[in-house]
Amino acid sequence: MKNVVISGGTSGIGRQLVHLFLDEGHNVVTFSRNKKKLNKLFNEVKNFPGKLSCMQCDVSKPEQIKKISIKLKKDLKTVHYLINNSGTNSLGTIDKIKLNDWKKIIDVNLTGPFYLTQCLFSALRKNSIVLNMGSIASKTGFPNWSAYCSSKFGLKGFTESLREELRPKGVRVIHAEVGATNTAIWDDLGDGWNKDSMMNEKEVALVIFDNLKLKNTVNIDEFTLMPPAGIL
């Protein structure tokens, strides 16, 4: 049984990964700022063979990350899988996007993964895996997506530096560049998105899960998942 920490595990790809790890009997910890979603997730997986612990935490708040990390290190001792999955987005042209929206996106998508990883650094052992959930926006800029693209470009840079720092320790670090996937994040971005052409969150999670389960003699530093239709 492995210890798995997944941020943003109450919906989308994160939720599917929680299901997959629990189905294999692992000890999974996830957190979200939404208590109702945490309770819903806990109830839907209560008959799975693994054990789920739900913690309320806003990853844009460093003091909350520090608090739960102290508890995690005390309870788990070792984190075998750390999956930085929390994400948010808000669209707007550069001349009109609000500073608070910009800061929130950077805090959730970039600073949150950095600080959670830093706080759990000592719990990462040889053969542990850190996966940072990137995006096709990690390498391609899109109009009206400047804050999101900036956060994901930054996350890719952080991931590459983290990989080299942890390589001597035997910890693997993976960057997943995921294209348009039909998750709830699109509900807050207005109409006009062709969700029928997007990837299925469960299928995406299965591919990610399979990559995480590779033997430690093989490492995929980075992979890209895209809808067959390409960039939507």
Domain harbouring 109, CATH code? 3.40.50.720
Task: Tell me which residue range forms the domain holding 139.
Answer: 3-225
Parallel, antiparallel, or unpaired: how do β-strands 3-7 and 124-133 relate? unpaired
Q: Which of 36-40, 154-158, 183-187, 208-212 has the lowest mean pLDDT?
A: 183-187
- Let me know if residue 232 belongs to a domain: no
Tell me the mean pLDDT in the region 58-76: 97
Does pLDDT of 229 surpass 90?
Answer: no
- Let me know if residue 38 belongs to a domain: yes
Phi, psi of 173 (to 5 degrees): -130, 125
Locate 196 and state its tokens: 């029928």
* pLDDT, tens digit, 9 for 90 and up, residues 144-153: 999 999 999 9
Does pLDDT of 90 surpass 70?
Answer: yes
Paired strand residues for 27:
3, 51
Paired strand residues for 31:
7, 55
- Let me know if residue 230 belongs to a domain: no
- Let me know if residue 231 belongs to a domain: no
Tell me the mean pLDDT in the region 21-35: 96
Residue listed under structure tokens 């942890």: 166
Distance CA 2, CA 81 (A): 8
Does pLDDT of 6 surpass 80?
Answer: yes
Q: How many CA atoms lie within 13 A of 39 on its CB side?
A: 3
Distance CA 57, CA 50 (A): 22
Q: What domain count does the chain have?
A: 1
